[in-house]
A and B are shown apart, each in its own frame.
Chain A
């Protein structure tokens, strides 16, 4: 059973493990929970905890969610709290922001963040900037969530990563969970946060199960926004990543461990505010930095991390230039061989590490 769990932890294609998806039963001590179910449970618990919380978006109610993330919620909470919207992102995102201004705590789902571009004015100009423009008179406690970044075979218009776009703007908090614990804890923190939070999920991670301790399963377990997590300790090189790429970094680290190279893998968890301190502390130990992301290189998350490193105390500890591993600078192609080569693979990470370490 333990080896089955190990096998599943980093698996890309999830073998579905039998999971009980009843929401009222207390789960056993440690459990296998998929990212999807972690998100579902987090929303369920927050809906129960605070009656001002509600969910709106396309297909979130009667369809159980386009990716089944909101499965069962409409049945439990009904029309008032789980609202199906027409396909009008700008309109319903604006409505969600208005509801937040008037005292509710909406979760606004974008079926994918690609469609958020239609509503991006409401996210930035109506949500992010308002507390500042009003000098604290008008807060906007809203969560925008949905899958972000590349999926599988969905081509150019459905594969963009928005971490850098939203991460650019003051007034927003932007989080990007990797595993089930991240998903659960960060979504709860996001919902309880009195500020606009952009919550970037990943469709390919939804079905991936992770072991979750009893502590993580408790109703008030929160992952703080703005703090990165060291997923793996190491001395030779720091890998900084977010979302699905964290898994790839861990896989690369496992391969390199056999060659005596110990990688420290940092899971950013939050894009904005960026946990610069965690990265600097690590680099001052390992002297080497590589960022790994799925998004495009230009003006990306990695670019920001490298710039901060240059400007901070950790620069003097670098034994080699810090580099970025990113998605290829092209719109996402469709054919599998092309798509596979548009995104960082484990071999790309390993190659970059060896180049940086000059081995």
Chain B
């Protein structure tokens, strides 16, 4: 009986491009209605880790309600992110992706949890480990992978690469460590100025957390009460330097000093979500900025040129994988509360794999940008101009 229903639900779900967010819940709803008499728990309440607080009387709730729909959506998005990054790893080793490639696998709960705590109409900016956020902020796997392979179908037409992907209300992808934080506060200033009750999430890592410009930003954001959520993704290593070797204080959630802070379990998507909701409420109520430290972990090295085992042990990596993997945590929760079936999740895995394969296929076969595009987009909304080529006789054309 179950098998038959699986087939029916698959037919009903149809096929569409997966964009992480909307279409998933549609699919889930179809499944639910086809199996209304099946005994899936529609929602359950989970205990989540208490957040350490800094200059806050109260923190986020210690229980989170997860609906079946949400669970399937988070699962799908995290799995898509995971497989996308692993595929990028593969393509990089085949030399189809070049240059810098900073992978996000292990940290999926951060991106997915944050996005589920804010709206798409809010704003977000991060550093170079940005593929996951490009996805949650509305990018498709196809255009992300094609950007990595430098093709014309890439999200930035092949002009940006791994570290420079943009979507609406997502300001990249930034290569200069720490520079994105003042930018994010500037976006928050624009939010406040324009009075639309939007906020900006500004992300940075444990390595960037010591940057002077971040402290300059804390000061101004606090003075001017900017609706900015500063989020430190602490994955314990800034490139090859562990936090103890880089920071006199590793309590990153306290480094904002006069800015209230929370330290959050970044491997638990529900914990991240609840903390983000709490932080968003703080900002939207006009109280000014707030800081979150997400304790997370990256399985890959800093980038593809770093094996990631010279400064940490394989045992450590393995331990995190087996005990704290964000996707496994969610999966176990859902299965043990009868919120989904093993087959159902396997189905999602298969669909995700297919989506990634299709995207990789596109990313490897789409042509590179045309040479005519070389000098375009120097300026915005400007008449065409002439650009000097490599020699005086080479006069190239640039259009906006």
Contact with B along A92-117 (1 / 0, CB 8 A): 11111111111110000000000000
Chain B residues with Cβ under 8 A from A90's Cβ? 182, 212-213, 216
Contact with A along B290-313 (1 / 0, CB 8 A): 000000000000000000000000
Evaluate contact between A104 and B223: CB separation under 8 angstroms. Answer: no
Evaluate contact between B175 and A94: CB separation under 8 angstroms. Answer: no
Query: Contacts A98-B171, A138-B171: A131 and B377 contacting too (C-beta < 8 A)?
Result: yes
Evaluate contact between A86 and B223: CB separation under 8 angstroms. Answer: yes
Within 8 A of B (CB), among A101-141: 101-104, 121-122, 125-126, 130-141
Within 8 A of A (CB), among B273-296: none
A80 within 8 A of B: yes
Binding-face segment, B43-51, B64-72, B157-165, B346-354? B157-165
B378 within 8 A of A: yes
Evaluate contact between B183 and A94: CB separation under 8 angstroms. Answer: yes
C-alpha gap A88/B387 in the complex (Å): 35
Within 8 A of A (CB), among B149-199: 156-160, 164, 166-167, 171-172, 174-176, 179, 181-191, 193-194
C-alpha gap A266/B317 in the complex (Å): 66
Chain B residues with Cβ under 8 A from A134's Cβ? 156, 159-160, 164, 166, 172, 377
Chain B residues with Cβ under 8 A from A321's Cβ? none
A167 within 8 A of B: no
A22 within 8 A of B: no
Evaluate contact between B377 and A91: CB separation under 8 angstroms. Answer: no
C-alpha gap A133/B376 in the complex (Å): 10
B382 within 8 A of A: yes
Query: Contacts A95-B182, A101-B187: A131 and B156 contacting too (C-beta < 8 A)?
Result: no
Evaluate contact between A133 and B217: CB separation under 8 angstroms. Answer: no
A85 within 8 A of B: yes
Chain A residues with Cβ under 8 A from B179's Cβ? 94, 121-122, 125-126
A10 within 8 A of B: no
Evaluate contact between B166 and A102: CB separation under 8 angstroms. Answer: no
Which residue of the partner chain A has the closest CB to B156? Answer: A135
Report the minimum CB–CB distance from A172 to chain B (whole Å).
10
Chain B residues with Cβ under 8 A from A94's Cβ? 179, 181-183, 185-186, 213, 217
C-alpha gap A285/B125 in the complex (Å): 54
How many chain A residues sit at the interface, stated as a range, is 35 or more
A78 within 8 A of B: no
B322 within 8 A of A: no
Report the minimum CB–CB distance from B386 to chain A (whole Å).
9
Contact with B along A38-60 (1 / 0, CB 8 A): 00000000000000001000000
Chain B residues with Cβ under 8 A from A98's Cβ? 125, 171, 182-190, 200
Residue of B174, B183, B185 ringed by the most chain A CB atoms within 10 A = B183
Chain B residues with Cβ under 8 A from A286's Cβ? none
C-alpha gap A218/B125 in the complex (Å): 41
Evaluate contact between B217 and A99: CB separation under 8 angstroms. Answer: no
A267 within 8 A of B: no
C-alpha gap A99/B217 in the complex (Å): 13
Report the minimum CB–CB distance from A58 to chain B (whole Å).
12
B94 within 8 A of A: no
Chain A residues with Cβ under 8 A from B187's Cβ? 98-99, 101-102
Evaluate contact between A131 and B190: CB separation under 8 angstroms. Answer: no
C-alpha gap A288/B220 in the complex (Å): 53
Which residue of the partner chain A has the closest CB to B219? Answer: A86
Chain A residues with Cβ under 8 A from B171's Cβ? 98, 101-102, 138
C-alpha gap A170/B382 in the complex (Å): 14
A319 within 8 A of B: no
Evaluate contact between A132 and B182: CB separation under 8 angstroms. Answer: no
C-alpha gap A91/B217 in the complex (Å): 6
C-alpha gap A295/B212 in the complex (Å): 30
C-alpha gap A135/B191 in the complex (Å): 24
C-alpha gap A121/B376 in the complex (Å): 23
Instruction: Count CB-based A-B contacts (< 8 Å).
Output: 151
Query: Contacts A91-B220, A97-B183, A137-B166: A195 and B175 contacting too (C-beta < 8 A)?
Result: no
Chain A residues with Cβ under 8 A from B181's Cβ? 94
Evaluate contact between A125 and B175: CB separation under 8 angstroms. Answer: yes
Chain A residues with Cβ under 8 A from B166's Cβ? 134, 137-138
B392 within 8 A of A: yes
Chain B residues with Cβ under 8 A from A122's Cβ? 179, 182-183
Evaluate contact between A104 and B213: CB separation under 8 angstroms. Answer: no
Chain A residues with Cβ under 8 A from B175's Cβ? 125
Which residue of the partner chain B has the closest CB to A138? Answer: B166
Report the minimum CB–CB distance from B254 to chain A (whole Å).
20
C-alpha gap A264/B166 in the complex (Å): 48
Evaluate contact between B380 and A273: CB separation under 8 angstroms. Answer: no
Which residue of the partner chain B has the closest CB to A307? Answer: B392
Evaluate contact between A136 and B377: CB separation under 8 angstroms. Answer: yes
C-alpha gap A100/B189 in the complex (Å): 10
Evaluate contact between A121 and B182: CB separation under 8 angstroms. Answer: no
B390 within 8 A of A: no
Which residue of the partner chain A has the closest CB to B165? Answer: A134
C-alpha gap A92/B183 in the complex (Å): 9
Residue of B186, B189, B376 ringed by the most chain A CB atoms within 10 A = B186
C-alpha gap A140/B176 in the complex (Å): 17
Report the minimum CB–CB distance from A96 to chain B (whole Å).
6
Evaluate contact between A103 and B190: CB separation under 8 angstroms. Answer: yes
Evaluate contact between A97 and B159: CB separation under 8 angstroms. Answer: no
Chain A residues with Cβ under 8 A from B157's Cβ? 135
Chain B residues with Cβ under 8 A from A194's Cβ? 379-382
Evaluate contact between A133 and B164: CB separation under 8 angstroms. Answer: yes
Evaluate contact between B194 and A91: CB separation under 8 angstroms. Answer: no
B63 within 8 A of A: no
Report the minimum CB–CB distance from B265 to chain A (whole Å).
29
A149 within 8 A of B: no
Chain B residues with Cβ under 8 A from A138's Cβ? 166, 171-172
Chain B residues within CB distance 8 Å of chain A: 123, 125, 156-160, 164, 166-167, 171-172, 174-176, 179, 181-191, 193-194, 200, 212-213, 216-217, 219-220, 223-224, 376-382, 385, 387, 392, 400
Chain A residues within CB distance 8 Å of chain B: 54, 80, 83, 85-86, 88, 90-104, 121-122, 125-126, 130-141, 170-171, 173, 194-195, 273, 311-312
Given contacts A96-B186, A104-B194, A138-B171, could you give 13 more A-B pairs where the C-beta distance is less than 8 Å? A88-B216, A91-B220, A94-B217, A98-B184, A98-B187, A101-B186, A102-B186, A131-B379, A132-B159, A134-B156, A171-B378, A195-B379, A195-B381
Return 25 A-B CB contacts under 8 Å, by A number.
Answer: A86-B216, A86-B223, A88-B213, A91-B216, A92-B182, A94-B182, A94-B217, A97-B183, A98-B187, A98-B189, A102-B190, A104-B194, A125-B175, A126-B174, A132-B377, A133-B156, A135-B156, A136-B380, A138-B172, A139-B380, A139-B381, A141-B380, A194-B380, A194-B381, A195-B382
Closest 6 CB pairs of A and B: A98-B186, A94-B182, A91-B216, A102-B190, A139-B380, A311-B392
